[in-house]
Structure 1
Amino acid sequence: MGVRRGLAAVVMAAAVGAPGAAQEADLALSEPAAGRFAALALKCVGREYPNKLDHVMNAAEEVKGPQALHPAFYGCFDWHSSVHGHWMLVRLLKEHPAMPRAAEARAALDAHLTPERIAGEVAYLDQPGRRSFERTYGWAWLLKLSAELRTWDDPQARRWSAALQPLADRLAAQFMAFLPKQTYPIRTGVHPNTAFSLHLALDQARAAGDATLEALIGERARTYFARDRRGPLAWEPGGEDFLSPCLEEAALMAEVLPRARFARWLDGFLPGLPKGLTPAVVTDRTDPKLVHLDGLNLSRARALYEIAEALGPKDPRRGALVAAGDRHARASLPHLASGSYEGEHWLATFAVQMLAARQALGH
């Protein structure tokens, strides 16, 4: 059974299954499904083309191909997708070390996460005109990868983590330098979204014991968002969104506010959540922007689970939030392996991140 048919078989039961415990189990990441998710990443982490470079050229000699510019993260169409494809492989191996394709996943990580290749990534950032390269979405995914490796008790992971450390340190420092200058948050539904990047970077700050970065992220989140009221959720989604500006903001605030204060803040920001929230409709999965809406369904589901978890098991909103998350998850899970590279190079990462949040409920 191929990757496309195999993934569809794993998740179609989630789309049509009966309610109850069996249906909930369909949203757990099984070992066979982990292998099929890994297969999607393995199709692209070493695939150089097609590629969408974000590249400031300072001279003619800098007209180079993706692998020459980015020796570690050249695949998966663009730099940030390559980074989070590596994160997904690490996450899957941590959860299911004996999954199908495990040996191939380890070999890919071993080939790319070397001191020499990471040094090449750092050298790229050292050139003029690169200060805003992948700011802050790609930065945050790199820190998320670093956090995942730091929290994995595995000999290879420790080696990969050490190799990645210079780049993680560099981007953590760039967060520290940039965030105090960012007077206003970016509230878009695509890559520059500030809340999403802060949420990912917070994982690294906590995993690394970086109290200074953690404190800055908390301060920025409260400064940007603590006074927000009546978020315009009814205006969402935009036609190419893969993030919900309102839900990403709420998921971040769930991390930086105490439970009781967060519950009050949520009442003011998204009263009635999740009333009226329905999965986005994707009309063409070969279109690189329209397929973003599959990512939106997956990221909405993850954010709804995170909000529900932060509110706690006794909050009356919890059941409706989880049910809404499940509806969004099931709307797009069957379409991860669509046969179109426009979605296949990145959507599985959002699915794995979402399933991790689903698994964390009640733990």
Structure 2
Amino acid sequence: MRFVLLGVAMSALSLAVLNGQMGVPSGLPMPVQLTIAAATGLAAWHARRSWWPLAVLGAVAYAGLVVWPPLMLASYYAGRTLPRPRGIAAYLGACVAVCGIGAIVGEARDGLQELLTASLGNALFMMLAVIGLPVALGLWTGEVVRAARERAERLEREQVMRAEQARAQERARIAREMHDVVAHRVSLIVLHAGALEVRASDEETARAAALIGGIGREALANLRDVLGVLRSPQGPVQAELRPPPTLDDLDRLLDQSRAIGIAVTRHDEGEPRPVESTVERTAYRVVQEALTNVHKHAGDAGTQVHIRYGADALEVEVRNDAPRAPRDELPGAGWGLVGLRERVELLGGTLRTSPEDGGGFLVSARIPA
């Protein structure tokens, strides 16, 4: 909007100069004066993209008719945008040449135009007022704008650095807490399981202790990966070398649940086909979280795991029966299904969880593949 107003103002000023109200009367017909004024306004409006048309029009209008408004505005833009010092020096040299041509034209036309452009004192005054001062003003405003932009960019960089530092400190604090508390407790579980395996008097107890130790060691490995990610945004090298779980690892996960007494049955439906690794990993996590909840809340309840390969989606369904006997539930934070829903929805899928008639529970996910 401001460039529209600038164009209107330049048109009005140029028309006033052409009429002799603010300069030398041009003696041109009114239609020609209106055309020149309109062209000046259009060039001023276009200056938001390029001010060179305004400079060319200003040079011609000043040299031939002493119409100074377009050259004055072009000089301001030159001071604000041209590189220093060569660009400014080249522009001032061109303006001196324009003033020289204007002096020659003024001598040919005589009268007021000769007085303004051909006499040395008036010529220097016009050069200072129309060219020198606008260039100086453009230089000053350009420096102010440039300094303000640099200050804003510096403040933005500092803000980003402070935010990154705060995030890094918080991640390090969480990593320390997880290492000092969770890793320590899981390490004790692994040690006790190993001791029980060695001292067990029967084979069944030894197998159960070995299973607990293996699960604990796997949990410690996963925990090390998580701690590495927390301490470094790029993640540890070990996490990059160890492939994330996919559906190929699902049988091993189910065997771990079977080993502690849960009857888990897997059903694959449809034609198995390769899908994206993120989809397989998410499907694995759905089954893992569902089985974890069975361990916590349903104990020895029978569980059915369905993997369905659809035309455009991979569907995962985990349905468990009611527990056969009441048992003490293990403590939980209550965030497992919330995080699982976020993971599925990030891939454009949907997650449905609901209690079943008879005391069972259903976890069903549909993931676009």
TM-score bracket for the superposition, by shorter chain length: under 0.3
Larger RCO (CA under 8 A, 6+ residues apart) = 1
- The answer to which structure has the higher strand fraction is 2
Pick the structure with greater CA Rg. Answer: 2
TM-score, normalised with respect to structure 2: 0.26
TM-score, normalised with respect to structure 1: 0.27
